[in-house]
Amino acid sequence: MLQTRICIALAFIAAPVFASEPVIGLITKTETNPFFVKMKEGATAEAKAKGAKLLSASGKADGDNAGQVTAIENMIAAGAKTILIAPSDSKAIVPTIKKAREKGVLIIALDSPTDPANATDALFATDNFKAGVLIGEYAKATFAGKPAKIATLDLLPGHPVGAQRHNGFLQGFGLQSFDAKNNELAKPAAVVCMADSFGDQAKGQTAMENCLQKNPDINLVYTINEPAAAGAFNALKKAGKEKGVLIVSVDGGCQGIKDLKNGKIAATSQQYPLKMAAMGVAAGVEYAKTGKKPSGYTDTGVTLIANKAIAGVDSKDSKTGMDMCWGNK
Amino acid sequence: MPSWKDHIPSIGTLGPFLALLLACGFFSFQSEQFLTGANFSLILQQIMVVGLIAIGQTLIILTAGIDLSCGMVMALGGVVMTKVANDYGLHPIVAISIGLAVTAGFGLLNGLLVTRIKLPPFIVTLGTMNIAFAITQLYSGSQTITDLPAAMTFFGNTFGIGQTQVAYGTVLMLACYALSWIWLRETAQGRHIYAVGNNPEATRLTGIATHRVILMVYVLAGLCYGVASLLSVARTGVGDPNAGQTENLDAITAVVLGGTSLFGGRGVIIGSLIGAMIVGVFRNGLTLMGVSSVYQILITGILVILAVATDQLSRKGGR
């Protein structure tokens, strides 16, 4: 007990040194998904540059709401005045965010919005519908009127990001689709198979295998992200069909761009998690200094990266994609 | 009845407590926010769901069983109680009772399969874990249930003790631990659970209906998961169909860290509370320090191995 008392005393002596350093919390969906690893890198670098202290935490798995609730509480206890969060469950996190904001904490959603979106002070994220539209347009130009038999490897039921990319892709391809606010997946006749990949390579492969069972003539595959695309490619290769099938995806991760370079993926819409996090940290530091809060939605940008440029579609090559994979530079 | 031996703390009971103290000591050196009443109250709130699941899990492990379905059954209970309250406008107490009945029903199902058809608990609960998950998703349509009546989230509210805000849920959890501790120590029923876990055959020969004891344990565990559902709903403010995904292993971890033997028959229920606190303290402390929670997973893994090794070695040493 005496030791703990001494250490409390020491802590009080040490405390003023850090008092002026704003504390910013970053809560991602998982610790291991490369997308969130990048996001954390971006936040760490920006915090270092701006003289802020960054605390980071995450759920244990995608969908672990309770873990994110715990992380928010712990960060408030640690004195964070700004918390950046990529919500694992857009609805379930809302009551906890409300409590935090009542305590004067600035909450910025990164990557995915909450439901309702105005539950957080601001949102820094990719325009997922636009990301879908870009690869849809690319596929349309490549097909040039040839009839398409489409498989979509989606995220999971009811997820807004999954719906926006899916519907955006179909719209870009010129098919009947829903708008960006709709969380339902459109299913025009050209879509012969729809399956959930959970954004996972193994599950994406299984989904594609099943789709090929259903319809062996599939010639265009949309995937929610590049791990799912890699899975789809494996399934096609095993079936000896990798040559005639076009795979398009979203994300633009470094591994994804490598797969694009190797010809597994034809085109991908690249997003920038590093930038999302850096902008979030900058906004948090600004809030600590001036009390000014950001608001509304900020588009963090999306770029079409394609292995082969095609006339009439604006795209960047794999070298640019590699240089900027998830906002490297 | 308890013998004099029960009053001497063994390494199994002291070890977890020492580990908790050491962890607390370490973190109070690392972060000035750690050693405060408010922070401890927070940690207790954070572990209340796993803490309650761990009560049920401890009872089952004491009979040399195991329950993998606990987290999913907890999620199902939460979805049922919130959805029936919202869909039919039932009084919250009625809705909560329905949720408790559903989780206790799952306990009954587990218990019947274990005692009547004599399936291994691991397999039975592996099956019911998936069944409970699927029913949860189907019943909720994979949608989070929001806009709950205030009474459903009552246990998430706090009251002040001096400067510290304490959640009603924490009080409920501590009360459940106190009750189950007294019940296990001081009643014949409680002692039968230990006896069944130690040597089921000998226990049966002394005239105790071992199957009835095991069935009762599974039903009680189901009830504990129901109370955990209520606490989970109160803590997050929603009925979450994706809750409970990691809680089964978290609860088993808490029980093992608390010194209850996975081979059955040995352990103290309060140990499970301490086990849950150890995990909660690491998660909280490392966040306060700004260290990645991967270290929490690393440390928890090491502690689990140490705890089981201690149990095994003390068994070999004869008792």
Q: What is the 3-state secondary structure (H, E, C) of B77-94?
A: HHHHHHHHHHHHCCCHHH
pLDDT, residue A31, reads 81
pLDDT in tens, A59-77: 888 888 999 999 999 999 9
Residue B5 three-state SS = helix
Q: Please give the pLDDT value at position B4.
A: 52
Which of chain B's residues have a Cβ under 8 Å away from the Cβ of A60?
Answer: 245-246
Residue with tokens 């879509």: A191
A326, A40 Cβ separation under 8 angstroms: no
Q: Are B172 and B38 in contact (CB under 8 A)?
A: no
Q: How far apart are CA B86 and CA A167, in angstroms?
A: 32
Inform me whether the C-beta atom of residue A77 falls under 8 Å from chain B C-beta atoms. Answer: yes
Residues of chain B with pLDDT under 50: 319
| C-alpha span between A256 and A318 (Å, rounded) | 10
Average pLDDT for A8-28: 64
pLDDT at A17: 41
Helices (H), chain A: 2-18, 34-50, 65-77, 94-102, 128-143, 160-172, 201-214, 226-238, 254-261, 273-290, 318-323
- Chain B's closest residue to A16, CA to CA, is B32
Closest to A54 measured CA to CA, from A62, A64, A44:
A44
Which residues of chain A make contact with B144, given a CB cutoff of 8 A? Answer: 89, 91-92
Tell me if A77 and B144 make a contact (CB, 8 A cut-off): no
Report ipTM for this prediction: 0.71
Question: How far apart are alpha carbons B263 and A295 in whole angstroms?
Answer: 56
Strand-strand pairing, B158-161 and B164-167: antiparallel
Cα dihedral A46, A51, A52, A54, rounded to 10, equals: 60
Interface-testing mutation among B39, B282, B293, with chain A (most A C-beta atoms within 10 A): B293
pTM of the model: 0.80
Task: Give the pLDDT mean for A237-241.
Answer: 90
Which helix (H) or strand (E) is B157 found in, with range?
A: none
pLDDT per residue as tens digits for the range A157-207: 777 889 999 999 999 999 999 998 888 899 999 999 999 888 888 888 989
Contacts of residue B188, Cβ cutoff 8 Å, sequence gap at least 6: B1
Confidence grade of residue A2 (pLDDT, cut at 50, 70, 90) = very low
Rounded to an integer, the average pLDDT of A130-136 is 97
Check residue A158 and give its pLDDT.
72
Pairwise CB contact (< 8 Å): B235 & A8? no
Q: Which of B240, B283, B290 sits opposite A55 (nearest CB)?
A: B290
Closest listed residue to residue A235, CA positions, set A258, A196, A203, A262:
A203
Q: Report pLDDT for B6.
A: 54
The angle formed by the CA atoms of residues B177, B179 and B181, to the nearest 5 degrees, is: 65
- What is the distance in angstroms between the Cα of B36 and the nearest Cα belonging to chain A? 10
Give the burial class of A216: count Cβ atoms within 10 A of its Cβ; 0-12 exposed, 13-18 middle, 19 or more buried: exposed
Report the C-alpha gap between B44 and A70 in whole angstroms. Answer: 11
Whether residue A271 has pLDDT greater than 50: yes
Q: Is the pLDDT of residue A3 over 60?
A: no
